[in-house]
Structure 1
Amino acid sequence: MSRLTIFEDGRPGDPVLRTEEPAAIRDALAPIGVRFERWESPVSLSPDEAPEVILEAFRPHLDRLMGETGAGTADVIKLRPDTPNKDALRSKFLSEHTHSEDEVRFFVHGSGSFILHVDGRVYDAHCTQGDLISVPTGTRHWFDAGTEPFVTALRVFTDTTGWVAHYTGDDIADRFPAA
């Protein structure tokens, strides 16, 4: 189930807000420019489907989304417990970073948390199958799918070279427990 937990002052502890209601998640993230939606899709795929099959199945949704965002390309990322480089990938995503474009993800299967660091607050947006999240350009954040990840996500890029992180050097991600 999707969940948003907000912490004050960038420190773990008692949250300011915790909700599992999609509308409340959307409304809490909107003021910081984050787009959050639940997609009810007639597409039902096996987690074992090839990336090309997933892209084709979601093509109508992707075309609409890419038209709205001006994106130039999309791909599929799959992280599983048996992904050969999963520890290196997880480490890369766990450090706080920004991007020079919006980071747009749609969760086809599984789950993961986008943790956003904005204006002295930390927003832990745990996304699950059917969630769309778009993190605005320049927003400090990190991502965690856990030590035994199970996630398939569509990634939408404006820059056709794909995912490029600009690490902040802030150790805030180390102060929050990983999934």
Structure 2
Amino acid sequence: MTTLSIFNQNEPQTALSVTNDAGEIQRLLAEQGIRFEQWSTRDLPADASQDEILEAYANEVSRLKSECGFQTADVVSLNPDHPDKDAFRKKFLDEHTHSEDEVRFFVRGQGLFYLHLGELVYAVLCQRNDLISVPDGTRHWFDMGPEPEFTCIRLFSNPDGWVAEFTGEAIASELPQYESLAGVA
């Protein structure tokens, strides 16, 4: 279930609030300039190709490209048996920013986006059918958990994709990780 947990950066181990109401999550994130949507489910085979996935969501992807000026879209997947899963997880666990929006639509699985907004950190556990758009310049990090399993559509303004600019802050290591917030043992 999609959840939003809000933490104060000065008391990072205790959530100030938690909600699993999608409308409330959308409202709270919109107040911070974060786009959050839920798209209708498409029945796709587990081994659907990038082209099949992009075709299934062509209308939504086209709408976002038109509204936001995105140039390209692709599909990224990660499974628990991937030999580099630990390195991929570590790569995104440090706080960073991008010079363009980071947009992810979860076709399957889940992942946890942390958004460091002022003194608050919004931890959004995104799941199947969730779209999140993190505006450029927003301090954030992503935790896919120790056994990642997700497929996401990504949209880019720059055809070369995004590059992370790490902040050097330790805040990401001070908040509860995926295992705690996703209820995974």
- Which bracket does the TM-score occupy, shorter chain normalised? over 0.9
Structure 2: tracts of 5 or more residues without a match: 179-185
User: Using the alignment, how far apart are the partners of 2:28 and 2:59 within structure 1?
Assistant: 28
Shift of 1:10: 4.5
Letter in 1 for 2:160: T
User: Using the alignment, how far apart are the partners of 1:112 and 1:133 within structure 2?
Assistant: 11
1:55-74 equivalence runs, <5 A? 55-74=54-73
SS in 1 for 2:31: helix
Alignment-derived partner of residue 148 in structure 1: 147
Shift of 1:22: 0.5
Letter in 1 for 2:91: K
Figure out how many residues of one structure are paired with residues of the other and give that number.
178
Stretches of 4+ moved more than 3 A in 1? none
Q: Over residues 15-59 of structure 1, what are the superposed CA-to-partner deviations in whole Å (9 max), with x where a residue is unaligned? A: 221000001001111121101111124x21123211121112111
Shift of 1:78: 0.3
Letter in 2 for 1:71: F
Letter in 2 for 1:134: S
Alignment-derived partner of residue 181 in structure 2: none
User: Using the alignment, how far apart are the partners of 1:108 and 1:9 within structure 2?
Assistant: 31
Q: Over residues 107-148 of structure 1, what are the superposed CA-to-partner deviations in whole Å (9 max), with x where a residue is unaligned? A: 000000100111111100000001010011100000011000
Alignment-derived partner of residue 160 in structure 2: 161
Aligned CA distance change for structure 1 residues 129 and 119 (closer, same or farther; 3 Å)? same
RMSD over aligned Cα, in angstroms? 1.1
1:77-116 equivalence runs, <5 A? 77-116=76-115
Q: Contact between 2:6 and 2:16, CA under 8 Å: does it hold in 1?
A: yes
User: Using the alignment, how far apart are the partners of 2:89 and 2:161 within structure 1?
Assistant: 17
1:31-70 equivalence runs, <5 A? 31-41=31-41, 43-70=42-69
User: Using the alignment, how far apart are the partners of 2:10 and 2:147 within structure 1?
Assistant: 26
Q: Contact between 1:107 and 1:153, CA under 8 Å: does it hold in 2?
A: yes
Shift of 1:89: 1.2
Alignment-derived partner of residue 13 in structure 1: 13
Letter in 2 for 1:108: V
Alignment-derived partner of residue 182 in structure 2: none
Percent identical residues: 49
TM-score (norm 2): 0.92
TM-score (norm 1): 0.95
Letter in 2 for 1:76: V
